[in-house]
A and B are shown apart, each in its own frame.
Chain A
Amino acid sequence: MIIDLDKFITRERPYWERLESRLKKLEVDPEGRIPFEEVKQFHYLYRRTASGLAQIATYATDPQIRGYLENIVGRAYSEIYTIRDKTPRFHPLRWLWGTFPQTFRRHLALFLLSAAILLAGGVFGALAVALDSEAKPVLMPFSHLAGDPSERVAREERADGHERLEGHMAQFSSHLMTHNTKVAIFAMALGMSWGIGTVLLVFYNGAMLGAVILDYILAGESLFLTGWLLPHGAFEIPAILIGSQAGLVLASALIGRGQPISMRARLKAVRSDLVTLIGGGGLMLVWAGLIEAFFSQYHAPVLPYELKIGFGILELLLLALFLGLAGHSTVWWQRVTRRHPKKVV
Chain B
Amino acid sequence: MDTLRGYQTVEIHTPEGVTFALPLAGPVVRFLAWITDLGCILALFSSAQALLMNLFSIIDADLGAAVGVFTYFAITLGYGIATEWWLRGQTLGKRLFRLRVLDLHGLRLRFSQVVIRNLLRAVDSLPLAYLVGGLACFGSRYRQRLGDIAANTIVVHQSEMALPDLAAITGGPFNSLRAFPHLTARLRQRVSPEEASIALTAVMRRNRLDPNARVALFAELASHFKAIVAFPVQTSEDIPDEQYMRNVVDVLFCKPAA
Interface 0/1 of B1-33, CB less than 8 Å to A: 000110000001011111111100000000000
Is residue B221 contacting chain A, with contact meaning CB distance below 8 A? no
CB-CB contacts below 8 Å: B133-182 with A: 146, 149-152, 156, 158-164, 166, 170
Q: Is there an interface contact between B252 and A167, defined as CB atoms closer than 8 Å?
A: no
Assembly CA distance A3 to B249 (angstroms): 11
Is residue B209 contacting chain A, with contact meaning CB distance below 8 A? no
Interface size on B (CB < 8 Å)? 72
**Least Cβ–Cβ distance between A229 and chain B, in angstroms:** 23
Question: Pick the contact of B204 from A64, A167, A177 — CB < 8 Å?
Answer: A64
Question: Pick the contact of B253 from A5, A81, A87, A275 — CB < 8 Å?
Answer: A5
Q: Is there an interface contact between B18 and A274, defined as CB atoms closer than 8 Å?
A: no
Is residue B58 contacting chain A, with contact meaning CB distance below 8 A? no
CB-CB contacts below 8 Å: A40-58 with B: 47, 50-51, 53-54, 57
Which residues from A are CB-within-8-Å of B166?
Answer: 5-6, 9
Q: Is there an interface contact between A274 and B116, defined as CB atoms closer than 8 Å?
A: yes
Question: Pick the contact of A1 from B70, B193, B254 — CB < 8 Å?
Answer: B193
Query: Which interface residue of A1, A5, A178, A181 has the most chain B CB atoms within 10 A?
Result: A5
Q: Is there an interface contact between B120 and A81, defined as CB atoms closer than 8 Å?
A: no
Interface 0/1 of B101-134, CB less than 8 Å to A: 0111011101111011001111100000000000
Q: Is there an interface contact between A77 and B12, defined as CB atoms closer than 8 Å?
A: yes
Q: Is there an interface contact between B116 and A271, defined as CB atoms closer than 8 Å?
A: yes
Assembly CA distance A169 to B66 (angstroms): 9
> Which chain B residue has the least Cβ–Cβ distance from A175?
B69
Assembly CA distance A191 to B77 (angstroms): 19
Q: Is there an interface contact between B112 and A70, defined as CB atoms closer than 8 Å?
A: no
**Least Cβ–Cβ distance between B136 and chain A, in angstroms:** 9
CB-CB contacts below 8 Å: B201-258 with A: 201, 204-205, 252-255
Is residue A120 contacting chain B, with contact meaning CB distance below 8 A? no
CB-CB contacts below 8 Å: A1-55 with B: 1-7, 9, 13, 16, 27, 30, 47, 50-51, 53-54
Is residue A150 contacting chain B, with contact meaning CB distance below 8 A? no
> Which chain A residue has the least Cβ–Cβ distance from B194?
A61
> Which chain B residue has the least Cβ–Cβ distance from A27?
B88
> Which chain A residue has the least Cβ–Cβ distance from B121?
A189
Q: Is there an interface contact between B108 and A51, defined as CB atoms closer than 8 Å?
A: no
Assembly CA distance A75 to B102 (angstroms): 10
Assembly CA distance A170 to B62 (angstroms): 6
Q: What are some 21 contacts across the A-B interface (CB < 8 A)? A: A2-B196, A5-B200, A6-B166, A47-B16, A54-B16, A57-B18, A61-B200, A62-B200, A62-B201, A65-B164, A67-B161, A68-B164, A70-B22, A81-B106, A82-B107, A170-B63, A170-B65, A189-B123, A271-B112, A271-B152, A278-B119
Nearest 8 CB-CB pairings of A with B: A6-B254, A170-B66, A5-B253, A82-B108, A189-B122, A178-B73, A171-B65, A174-B66
